[in-house]
Structure 1
């Protein structure tokens, strides 16, 4: 079973915004933003519903990164 190092606090990923160059903030798993109950659902089940076909293998965890300066969002896939 693969685990996401960012979800489990094993690693931090630092990214710079592609629009303004400021540091981006990790805002959690993308699937946690779908609806009120998504954080409580099975992770692999939510990956099937996430709309990103390359995560269906279960080897990538999509995380939302936000820029506090220009308010842009980016989805980054973390290798599990």
Structure 2
């Protein structure tokens, strides 16, 4: 079983904002923001509705990155090793 390096704190990569060049902050899995119950649901169930084709079978997560300086948002697909 593979695990997400961002979800599990195993990555120290930084991501630069395309607008202001500030360092973007990882706000977790994108599907945790779908509704009030999303963070408590099984990950594989949420992956069925995340908008990424065939994501349920792939070892990857889609994370939300937000720039604390300008508010720019970006989705980042993280492939699990």
TM-score with structure 1 setting the length? 0.90
| Native 8 Å contact 1:47 1:58 kept in 2 | no
Q: Please name the residue that 1:7 is paired with.
A: 7
Where does the alignment leave 5 or more consecutive residues of structure 2 unmatched?
none
For 1:12 and 1:54, the matched residues in 2 are separated by 27
The CA RMSD measured in Å over matched residues stands at 1.3
For 2:12 and 2:57, the matched residues in 1 are separated by 23
Where does the alignment leave 5 or more consecutive residues of structure 1 unmatched?
none
Q: Please name the residue that 1:61 is paired with.
A: 61
From the two aligned structures, give the one with the greater strand fraction.
2
Q: Please name the residue that 2:70 is paired with.
A: 70
Moved over 2 A (4+): 54-58
The count of corresponding residues between Structure 1 and Structure 2 is 80
Q: Please name the residue that 1:45 is paired with.
A: 45
TM-score with structure 2 setting the length? 0.89
